[in-house]
Amino acid sequence: MTTRSVFAYAAHRIRRHPAGEITLTARCLAPGCRWELDATSDLAAGDEACMAHTGLNPGHDTFERTWSEVSLVTRLDRRDKLPEAE
C-alpha cells in the first residue's frame, strides 16, 4: 500500500438505481393474523390491499409497511465534487 492510496479520497453519490423501482411489502399486526402483502411496485394497489384487508376483517387496522429500493453508488468526477464541509 502506498502513501498515496492511504490518503486518496473520492466523493460518491448514492441514488435509486435507474433500472430499479420502489417496492412495498406489508403485514397485518392484529394478534394472530398472518396476512401479508407480497412485494409490489404498484404502491396504490398495495395501499388498496391493506384497506381491503381491514374492510374484510374489522379490527385489523394496523400494518407494518416497508418500502424498498435498489440503490446505485457512483463515483463523482471532479466536475461533480461535493462542496467541502465547513
CB nearer Zn ion, residue 21 or residue 64: 64
Chain residues binding Zn ion by CB under 5 A are: 28, 30, 33, 35, 60
Compute how many other C-beta atoms are within 10 angstroms of the C-beta atom of residue 37. Answer: 19
Grid cell in block for residue 77:
468526477
Measured from the CB atom, the residue of 64 and 69 that comes closer to Zn ion is 64
In the complex, what is the shortest distance from the CB of residue 64 to Zn ion, in angstroms, rounded to a whole number? 11
CB 11 within 8 A of CB 85: no
Considering the complex, what minimum distance in angstroms separates the CB of residue 42 from Zn ion?
20
Identify the bridge partners of residue 23 per DSSP, sorted by sequence position.
Answer: 68
Q: CB-wise, 45 or 76, nearer to Zn ion?
A: 45
Provide the minimum distance between the beta carbon of 51 and Zn ion in the complex, in angstroms, as a whole number.
12
Q: Which residues contact 17 (CB under 8 A, 6 or more apart)?
A: 69, 70, 71, 72
